[in-house]
Amino acid sequence: MKLTHLSQSAAFITIKFYGLTRDERYRALFEKETIRYYEKMVSFLPAPLSYYHYWLQFKWARLLYIAAEEMLLPGDLLHILARKQFVEHMADDLLEEGYDQVLILGSGLDHLGLRYARSNKPTIEIDTLRMSQYKQAFLDQHYPHSEHPHLLGCNLSEQPLSKILECQEILTPKKKTIVIAEGFFDYLAPPTVHNTLSNLRDYFSSPAVISTHFALDELSPFHRWIFQTSLRFAGEPLQFHTSMDEFEQILDEYHLWLSSCYGTDDLATRLNTQVEINLPLLKGFYLFTAK
């Protein structure tokens, strides 16, 4: 696959996770199979991105990378660890509550679809056509004998989620459904956010949405500019500019009520109870469940 066909933000989230989990402190936060998944994924990336698999094995290279990242956007690296760990824990908690199937929106290169498909949970991942094709090639090569999530390629700004759900036979509308939207809504135009939430509420009788949100108003002007500019250069600009309070009001419109919501301080405190951290966590980052 050509480098230009790959989501740059998804690729660098994967690279940053891989680099940080070379450190035993952070590695211990995740299951061995999760660590191995991202090792395989980074080596599978097209060159020159795949070169990170070699260089980030060296501590001096990781320290240089961390120093550069933290100088430009403090907390970006640690927020990736936080979202990977807590999204997984929040989804596992919902499974224990009786939720029985999983829909992942904007799945990128994430491991969760494979994790739940291998646990015999009906699982669909939705992303762009090229990203879905790339993910399928990776799964076919590295997990040929495992159950795979069902991958659907589409553009929700062109094709509403309702049409996609009506054409699939994997997920059942009446079953309690986990909807994972990690790093998803922020990249959509506001009308598409509203349409997607409406479609989820109308199609599933009992959806529980796990999502992240970037409240850019909580970043300093300089760090906000760095964050937005880096994503524009990647061709993936943020479009959904709201505070967390405003997003909660939008969720309420579609009868999705926050059952848990963690901000920067909450996530940092929870991480600190598991491991001594020496990095800040990105301001304005939120993680929540709404159902």
Task: Report strand pairing: 150-153 vs 176-181.
Answer: unpaired
pLDDT of 4 higher than 50: no
Helices (H), the chain: 8-20, 24-27, 32-44, 52-55, 59-72, 76-96, 112-117, 129-142, 161-166, 190-203, 221-233, 244-253, 264-272
For the chain, give the percent of residues with pLDDT over 70.
98
CA 206/CA 14 separation, integer angstroms: 31
Q: pLDDT (tens digit, 9 = 90+) per residue, 14-55?
A: 999 999 999 999 999 999 999 999 999 999 999 999 999 999
Q: pLDDT (tens digit, 9 = 90+) per residue, 168-195?
A: 999 999 999 999 999 999 999 999 999 9
pLDDT of 3 higher than 50: no
Region 226-246: mean pLDDT is 92
For the chain, give the percent of residues with pLDDT over 90.
90
Spell out the domains of the chain, with CATH numbers in brackets.
74-290 (3.40.50.150)
- Residue 251's contacts (CB-CB under 8 Å, 6 or more residues apart) are 197, 209, 257, 258, 290
Query: Which of these, 152, 149, 148, 110, lies nearest to 127 by C-alpha position?
Result: 152
User: Residue 85, SS3?
Assistant: helix
pLDDT given at position 1: 39
CA 33/CA 19 separation, integer angstroms: 16
Q: pLDDT (tens digit, 9 = 90+) per residue, 106-162?
A: 999 999 999 999 999 999 999 999 999 999 999 999 999 999 999 999 988 888 999
Q: Supply the pTM of this predicted model.
A: 0.95
Q: pLDDT (tens digit, 9 = 90+) per residue, 276-290?
A: 888 899 999 999 999
Burial of 186 (0-12, 13-18, 19+ CB in 10 A): buried
- Per the CB < 8 A criterion, the answer to whether 277 and 271 are in contact is yes
